[in-house]
Structure 1
């Protein structure tokens, strides 16, 4: 089977070459043999659509229909013989290992000629069908009307059905597409009239091409209707909704405090993504706002990282005016971030009616921990070394208490350009309660382009290697360190504590 060629039935869409799918275009260009159908005049609509994707030197097989109307005597016999002979022509190429693409206007399995080759060859050769945009979808698009909404039923009918049967179908369905018009147009029009649907029907000819035509079906002259046209009964639920700026004004606003996680979009929860997408205003620390792709529909309000209360009040005031406001935090907004500031200011009487939601994010502590294993596998606490909002004496006493309690400690904000001595002071306090060999995980820019994760002994913690973008995880007495199979550090804290 590996020496055989592959048969492809490739849908080309309704007529516009730009509606050919990327996959279809690739397969057409790569094919050894390109097959297309035509009437006896030799012109092929399918080849015309595919022409931009053909390449010089390809073998072309033109399958010319011997008959084009069922009124011909022995139509079925002639057409069956034509399909059988055409299939054997393609089988010769496939048996020789040549890949064959059969071009199909619209979709190969939607009233397409390809299906007759498929039924005769798919059990003999490897086969793949590439779907295309149907003429029904193309017609609805150029008409600018939905086909079906909510619980409506769409019925697709060939115009070759008896007129009475067509009328029965049309009287009971919500929406309909009637294919194969041409010589059947007169009977189709009478069926629509009998079903009481003529005034709802639209005529679409050569949809999506430069020769397309759209008109109320009742106004179309039957003499000029080609085969490549159809009748549409679009959705009955369709109504144009007119709106004015006053009518479309924003409803009650809200503030959503969003955690971005520690790095890129892959760390962002779907709930947070939705809040960012639906927001009118984005408020936050400038570098955090820079992590969100710009959208001209939204207004962005960057500010310094030392004006949290002012930022919160600004966001609440925007929401009070009807805006949907996303306040941006890195990591989780409830961990040394904006959620607390927003909720505190929201308690003021002027903002009493403004709803506030907090959406969680992946914390930096958990991100760093994941890079080395499970250092937070037992009891732990989270501390910030920043003394901007609380005195160092409080920080030091809490650090000593956590160390004495033998908790794993996640340390945020360990240093900055103006705070350079806190890490060394913290190390000294920790060494009063912890072994010098205690593992310390130093994670920097985890998830970002400059990510680095190191594990050192507490005694070897060098303050000069720690900055504001770092997070420290200080192990407990039970935290273990080893080297993994690829040389990577592995740190974990067992769930069981020694008795």
Structure 2
């Protein structure tokens, strides 16, 4: 009869933080295995040492490499794969002999732990039980004595081995975070916190619960002193003191729909704001945060909304002005910058953060209709006369550009789409593909491909964007029945 495999979580380092079940399993085991570097000193073994018996069979699983280079033909990854295969074979021999094997793991066995490599190779062949342990994340939060996350806040766990730009993006878009695996990665981790604007709130915990424990502000830590067993922590910001700085306005593009379309930079700006200002429909896309004030208004008061945001910023508030799609495409960036150009607001910092445009979102749903040169035109004649719109339609059509038509119709504007279609038919064939995309990314999403000569104005409203192909745009029905549209990148030689 085969033996049983246990993955035993030992907690963060203090032996008194081992669970009762972990102690029981070690006491009952025939074989105790643990990982170590080539110096043979195992932190896992030192944590469990008081519970080891003289008759325990010990299996040190010694890594062939850690951070150094290797002459293995498969490189570092090849050397480690061979090691895991050999180590799991050694444990399998004990299990086949009917022995109970306890593999010790610092923290929790399945949380960035070495045990998981044994688990993946053995658990499908042998009776297996994993004993959870207190993670370094929980230990660090306890040592800081501050909430890690509260309410609806999101906690992100990150390995410090990620590129700095990726770390900065993820830190900017989350409420609270823990970055693991420091040591040599510390300089770029610190840089990522700085780039994300969150260094002032970040804390550092080294060897939590151990005798060499150290707690400090991340900004004050000397990189040369940082060991692998340390973490960077961005705790809950619900009650956190915000860094003292002047007011500012950030115009944030929310994309065409909900949170999935937000960039990490936009998420960070929204989380960092004292006030969020915008058209109510767009405000509803932004998560509600404790202590943050929300100021909704009608869609037709853009200048007033911009002035209100700048006044808040002038009084020292950090304000996010939300805008659908990209704020610079028929949206709030222009309104804010126009008001900010007035002398009384010259001292208020203003940033514009891009977002996914409706045209790009619609194009992606349909294929690649914007694969070549294209023009973007609004059909709304509320802010410019129809004569200007028609002139631009004719110019773009005669240049054989693909057209992205915004604001094509509304309850009070019902004839513009039909008139635009008739103008374009003077330059384009009736079979020209047209993408009709409504509420892309939203609950009412509807994307269809019609021909220009058959375009029905009745199916178009303010939540619709139209992509009208050029003379080269192709519509193809593929094997699965789906019709896709694409515009070649190469233009035929004249």
TM-score by length of 1: 0.61
Q: 2:420 aligns with which of 423, 426, 445?
A: 426
Distance 1:424 1:334 in 2: 27
Match of 1:11 in 2: 9
Q: Tell me, yes or no, if the aligned pair for 1:14 and 1:133 is still in contact at 8 Å.
A: yes
Equivalent of 1:367 in 342, 346, 361: 361
Per-residue CA deviation, residues 361-403 of structure 1 (Å, 9 max, x unaligned), is: 1111011111122111111100111111111121122112211
- Alpha-carbon shift at residue 434 of structure 1 (Å): 1.1
Report how many aligned residue pairs link the two structures.
357
Determine if contact 1:481/1:490 at 8 Å carries over to the other structure.
yes
Alignment deviations for residues 51-89 of structure 1 (CA, whole Å, 9 cap, x no partner):
9xxxxxxx998469xxxxxxxxxx99x9432447xxxxx
Question: Is 1:441 the equivalent of 2:439?
Answer: no
In the alignment, is the contact (CA less than 8 A) between 1:46 and 1:105 conserved in 2? no
**Out of 37, 54, 74, which is 1:80 matched to?**
54
Contact 1:47-1:103 within 8 A present in 2 as well? no
Structure 1 residue ranges without an equivalent (≥5): 21-44, 52-58, 65-74, 85-89, 110-114, 146-150, 154-174, 179-206, 208-229, 240-244
Structure-2 residue corresponding to 1:356: 350
> What is the CA–CA distance in structure 2 between the aligned matches of 1:426 and 1:6, rounded to whole Å?
74
The answer on 1:141 being equivalent to 2:114 is: no
Q: Which whole-Å deviations, capped at 9, do the CAs of 1:99-130 have from their partners, x for residues lacking one?
A: x7859797489xxxxx9xx9xxx9xx878987
The corresponding residue for 2:462 is 468
Q: Which digits, 9 at most, give the CA deviation of each residue in 1:248-285, with x for residues without a partner?
A: 78421111111111123222111111111111111111
Structure 2 spans left out of the alignment, 5+ residues: 31-48, 59-90, 110-114, 147-181, 185-204, 221-238
Alpha carbons 1:108, 1:129 under 8 Å: kept? no
Cross-structure match for 2:273? 279
Contact kept, 8 Å, 2:390 with 2:420, in 1: the verdict is: yes
* Deviation by residue 1:398-457 (Cα, 9 ceiling, x = unmatched): 112211221111000111111111111111111111111111011111122222211111
SS of residue paired to 2:437: strand
Cα distance in 2 for residues equivalent to 1:371 and 1:261: 14
Q: For 2:412, what is the secondary structure of its paired residue?
A: coil
3-state SS in 2 of match to 1:441: strand
Do the aligned partners of 2:3 and 2:101 also contact (CA within 8 Å) in 1?
A: no
Distance change in 2, residues 1:101/1:270 (3 Å): farther
Q: Deviations over 1:137-192 (max 9, x none)?
A: 749836849xxxxx999xxxxxxxxxxxxxxxxxxxxx9989xxxxxxxxxxxxxx
1:309 to 288, 292, 303: 303
For residue 330 of structure 2, the aligned residue among 330, 333, 336 is 336
The answer to whether the 8 A contact 2:29-2:101 is kept is no
Paired residues of 2:22 and 2:131 also in contact (CA < 8 A): no
Larger mean Cα displacement after TM superposition, 449-458 or 261-270:
261-270
- Aligned partner (choices 309, 319, 323) of residue 313 of structure 2: 319
Q: Which moved more, 1:438-447 or 1:135-144?
A: 135-144
In structure 2, the residue corresponding to 1:443 is in which secondary structure? strand
Cα deviation code 1:318-351 (max 9, x no counterpart): 1111111111011100000000000000011110
Write the mapping of 1:155-166 to structure 2, written as runs, cut at 5 A.
none
Asked whether the 8 Å contact 1:309–1:345 carries over to 2, the reply is: yes
Moved more, 442-451 or 453-462: 442-451
How far is the alpha carbon of 1:287 from its aligned partner? 0.7
Deviations 1:442-493 (A, max 9, x none): 1111122222211111010011111111110011111111112221121111
How large is the Cα RMSD of the aligned pairs? 4.6
CA distance in 2, matches of 1:332, 1:143: 40
Partner of 1:132: 133
Q: Which residue of 1 aligns with 2:384?
A: 390
Match of 1:485 among 457, 462, 479: 479
Give yes or no for contact 1:15–1:49 (8 Å, CA) kept in 2.
Answer: no
Q: 1:434 to 1:106 in 2, by over 3 A?
A: closer
Cα distance in structure 2, aligned partners of 1:143 and 1:482 = 60
1:3-152 maps to which residues of 2 (within 5 A)? 7-11=5-9, 13=11, 46-47=19-20, 62=28, 79-83=53-57, 94-95=95-96, 102=102, 107=107, 132-133=133-134, 138=139, 141=142, 144=145
Contact 2:10-2:134 at 8 Å conserved across structures: yes
**Residue 13 (structure 1) shift:** 3.6
Q: Equivalent residue of 1:326, what SS?
A: strand
**Distance in 1 between the 2:4 and 2:22 partners?**
22
The answer as to whether partners of 1:383 and 1:409 remain within 8 angstroms in 2 is yes
Aligned equivalents of 1:63 and 1:291: distance in 2? 54
- Which residue of the partner structure matches residue 282 of structure 2? 288
